[in-house]
Amino acid sequence: MNIWYWAGAIVLLGYSVIPTYTAKLLHRVRRKRTGNTLYLTFDDGPDLLYTPQLLQLLARYDIKASFFVVAQFAKQNPALIQRMQDEGHLVGVHGLAHKNGMLQTPWQAYSDFQEARQTMRHLGVNVKYIRPPWGHWNLISVHQMHRAGMKPMLWDVMAQDWSAGETAESIQRKLLRRTTGGSIICLHDGRGKDEAPARTIAALRKTIPLWLERGYRFDTVDHYENKTDS
């Protein structure tokens, strides 16, 4: 291994690895582990086929959720973004085109952030919350986030619902086992393997009634920081 290998490793460490794991550590420290509120969040949409089905399911139970949308997909589906807002959901951003922040050059990271934010503004969304793809930050995205007055929002619970190896039943088992009061649950209404969002929606159809029976209620992530219920 030569000096250029180590130089590259050091640059990557400072540019993305440290910001990424610092953000994850801060989220763990600030995590609320009490209460009876769950925070359903959805990444990678909107999807013209699956997002309307999900919105219909949420409306059936009067559940408000948070959608971290890919800006390019949002641009292709403006009516779905408007519907999310009309129905009381929070709309955040999940990057311009779902690119990994660890693999972006500084210029790419800057351009991605600015274009994503501008796209959402044109859709009538004043974005306050951001979740980077895979939870990977870099120094540029962190700087731009703070400069724009936006807040990061990671997650506590995943069910690997994007995977082709998961079924609606396995997703449900993971959700019921891993979720506790105060959990921020990350699921997906777009992308994924082999029509994965269909399995996510099927799992939620079975899981939401069980959560309600257990006394859980639901809210959007903008209320997470000030939540005081027990």
Catalytic (active-site) positions:
43, 188
Q: Helices in 135-195 by DSSP H: which ranges?
A: 139-147, 168-178
CA distance 113 to 73: 15
DSSP assignment of 27-48, as one string?
Answer: HHHH----SSEEEEEEES---T
Residue 136, amino acid? H
Task: Please list, in sequence order, all residues whose beta carbon lies within 8 angstroms of the beta carbon of residue 112, skipping any fewer than 6 positions away.
Answer: 95, 96, 97, 99, 104, 141
Dihedrals phi, psi of 93, to nearest 5 degrees: -120, 145
User: Which among 63, 54, 122 is positioned nearest to 93, based on CA atoms?
Assistant: 122
DSSP assignment of 50-67, as one string?
Answer: HHHHHHHHHHHTT---EE
Q: Go through 57-68 and write b for each residue having 16 or more CB atoms within 10 A of its CB, e for each that does not.
A: bbeeeebbbbbb
